[in-house]
Structure 1
């Protein structure tokens, strides 16, 4: 029964072949085995707004004037682009379908397990993960060292670029009795326009803690991203943290098809000539007309 439940998470989702930097992959992207730890920290609202590229992105507020930054570490063991690690730095935005009251909007997102983060940095560990993320959805990715460590009751993740520490996050391995479907409606910025994509998680084991001592954060002093974090954070004790020792995920493609993206997808990414795009509807119309004529003849007979 367990295997069937796992298979059902991916059932009915059609993937298409895509190319990035000469390498073939598939979208939506399947992550068949992963683990993660996430911590949410209080941040100053004016500093968060300076990181947002468009006024249509509005930070959710924990309290008036206080927003939230999420640090999310993922260890992907089996994916369509091979194994890799990722460290997401995001700003929690308001759910546009919920009244943007301080505290209320974030609590509703938590209650529904539907989150709206804007990703402003997304370091990864492999070239394959880097290229498709940038080319197709505009993820702000860069190559970095992301190392996980298991030390007793803690799961740690250290983020460095060229041996320079950006940050080090540790989350306690709290009890993870829940099995939940979590949706991240990710906001991005591509071709100087808002972009979005859905990242769906089948958390096969999930623990949530509101204890500020269940996560520890160290921020580097010299790296630009470390300084960026230091400027926005109000404290290094989390508002909440998530421990996900076992998960599957699906990353869907970009939802907003701008002209530059359409050009890339058809001429470079999917390698579908534009003539073929015109031919397909014509073929369907001819087939439908042929079937109608056949039905008309059969009725006369």
Structure 2
């Protein structure tokens, strides 16, 4: 079997093991569609198969009548060429996530960022020798890309064109709901999410098993090593009880390099509908094993957990990346 066929078969197998669709049918049939020159398995008759990231809100309302779509009605989609024809922003209608923010060795963080990006943004130094990373686990239950799970590891940075004042900048981003970072790792559990992320956004995505679990007291994400198939690490967070249900929109932006090595930026708006936070280290349990991602996390020399966020309900709109020069023009 040649490499191309083997990759396609692996994609089909792993996609079948991904999070179930909105309809909850784990045995859904797949069809292959071409995305940027890649043959990608998607759910037959799913949102992406039918609408290629541009489903009418009337369809979403009919298929998911319990989802509040009022926020999306105020957002305009536009056709975008991101290595394939798509629409921006990409909508995520029903989702949940947990985030743990840790200190990490700032020298190591600087090593992991391209020199070209370091000229524009730097890791925030919260105290001598220590930067900040955010580990986030998402389960997208219903979105333009059907459904999938994702793990994000990002370095927290200053905003391009703005000076970094370490912990004060971190506090400022937190209070304003305007966060900036550089994405280090972004594994997903469907080939559709992987190809769209790599081709369209030049993000460090790869395909692996990511299982979402939930109990009365906690939610957890079991992440497999893509090479061995064994459990790489388990990220568990407590279900916090003091939830706020006041809708709050936050913005997460990231700097990156495109395939030509040019500076870009992208961002997502997230409408948090149910959320709570804690600074107690007991809120998070991160069990690292011997996989490649675990080894990578260990190399960061992560220390004190600064904050844990439990967001059992949020919506999001992810915008296509643009040249960083466009960002400076708008400032």
Q: Which TM-score applies when normalising by structure 2?
A: 0.71
Q: Where in structure 2 are the equivalents of 1:192-271 lying within 5 Å?
A: 192-221=261-290, 223-235=291-303, 237-256=304-323
**Matches for 1:285-300 after TM superposition, within 5 Å:** none
* Partner of residue 72, structure 2: 10
Looking at structure 2, the residues matched to 4 and 168 of structure 1 have their Cα atoms a distance apart, in angstroms, of 31
Shift in Å at residue 188 of structure 1?
2.2
Give distance in 2, aligned partners of 1:114 and 1:4.
29
Flag the 1:146–1:4 CA change in 2: closer, same or farther, 3 A.
Answer: closer
Alpha-carbon spacing, 1:200–1:117, altered in 2? closer, same or farther (3 Å): same
Does the 8 A contact of 2:225 with 2:293 survive in 1? no
SS in 2 for 1:64: coil
Aligned equivalents of 1:188, 1:164: Cα separation in 2 = 31
**Hey, what does 1:187 align to over in structure 2?**
255
Structure 1 residues 97 and 207: alpha-carbon distance in aligned structure 2, compared to 1, 3 A threshold: farther
Deviation at 1:10, TM superposition (A): 1.3
| Cα distance change on mapping 1:239 and 1:257 into 2, 3 Å | closer
Could you say if the C-alpha distance between residues 17 and 102 of structure 1 is closer, same or farther in structure 2, counting changes exceeding 3 Å? closer
Tell me how far 1:44 sits from its aligned partner. 0.5
Match of 1:165 in 2: 231
**5+ residue gaps in structure 1?**
259-301
> What secondary structure is seen at the aligned counterpart in 1 of 2:253?
strand
**1:142 partner SS:** coil
- The Cα offsets for residues 253-300 of structure 1, whole Å up to 9 and x where unpaired, read as 011189xxxxxxxxxxxxxxxxxxxxxxxxxxxxxxxxxxxxxxxxxx
Q: Is the Cα contact below 8 Å between 1:59 and 1:93 reproduced in 2?
A: yes
Partner of 2:100: 39
Alignment size in residue pairs = 253
The alignment partner of 1:136 has SS state of: helix
Counterparts of 2:109 and 2:293, CA distance in 1:
14
Distance apart, 1:16 and its partner CA: 3.8
With the length of structure 1 as denominator, give the TM-score of the two structures.
0.77
Distance 1:104 1:209, change over 3 A: same
Gaps of 5+ in 2: 1-64, 326-331
> Are 1:95 and 1:105, in contact at CA under 8 Å, matched by a contact in 2?
no
RMSD of the TM alignment (CA)?
2.4
Mapped to 2, the partners of 1:98 and 1:109 lie a distance apart of: 12
- Name the CA distance, whole Å, in 2 between partners of 1:144 and 1:19: 27
